[in-house]
Amino acid sequence: MNLILLGPPGAGKGTQAKRLETARGLVQLSTGDMLRQAVASGSALGQQAKKVMEAGQLMPDEIIIAMIAERIDAPDARKGFVLDGFPRTEAQAEALDRMLAGRGRRLDAVIELVVDEAALIERISGRFTCAKCGAGYHDKFQPPKKPGVCDRCGSTEFVRRKDDNPETLKARLEAYRAQTAPIVPYYRRKGLLKEVDGMAAPDQVTGAIEAILARIATA
């Protein structure tokens, strides 16, 4: 099964992609990870990508598509893949369709994690973790049982991601709306778009995705 997960930063795409990997044997495809791996490998494609990166230029669509094509041809991708973070434009979506068709493959679904932006900002900006053991907390939804003390290890040191602040999050959401959201109508027209409430608990989101995939499998 070949899937795309859509949704703004913090919607939970990474979490759900990992769960699909475990439950269904799909391969999570992150274009950022693939670029780094290609460069590190020293392959012809990696050398091309390295030159573009060193020049400070935007990565051409054809290089990204070629990397995806190379990756999905690998034996471990025979059960399918989950794309997270690509495509971002209609041109990329069309190029992806052409590449897949050339390999006798197609997308089975494009799942959009729909969020309430104001609630998402509150959810993300309140996150923090224990600096010692990595246990996760939230100012409002999951504070430590004893203020200032980690429930798991007793440490009193906590850290927050620098980009988990309202200003940065608003900018990232605006960028998502401008760059990626326009491909939603493209996939809706193709009948591939499925919507899931991204504000639900992770287990509920997983259940909703699995229900969609079960319907597709029996269609």
Annotated binding site: 10-15, 31, 36, 57-59, 85-88, 92, 127, 130, 133, 150, 153, 161, 172, 200
- Give the residue numbers of the binding site for Zn(2+): 130, 133, 150, 153
Is residue 161 flagged as an active site residue?
Answer: yes
Pick the catalytic residue: 13, 19, 71, 123? 13
Return the half-sphere exposure (C-beta side, CA atoms, 13 A cut-off) of residue 149: 5
Pick the catalytic residue: 19, 71, 88, 194? 88
Pick the catalytic residue: 50, 105, 127, 188? 127
SS3 label, residue 103: coil
Tokens describing residue 34: 């693939």
- Give the residue numbers of the binding site for AMP: 31, 36, 57-59, 85-88, 92, 161, 172
Tokens describing residue 2: 């070949």
| DSSP classification of residue 147 | T
Pick the catalytic residue: 18, 51, 161, 215? 161
Q: Are 3 and 116 in contact (CB under 8 A)?
A: no
Is residue 13 flagged as an active site residue?
Answer: yes
Residue in 16, 35, 77, 15 with CA at minimum distance from that of residue 213: 16
Pick the catalytic residue: 105, 132, 172, 188? 172
Question: Which residues belong to the active site?
Answer: 13, 88, 127, 161, 172
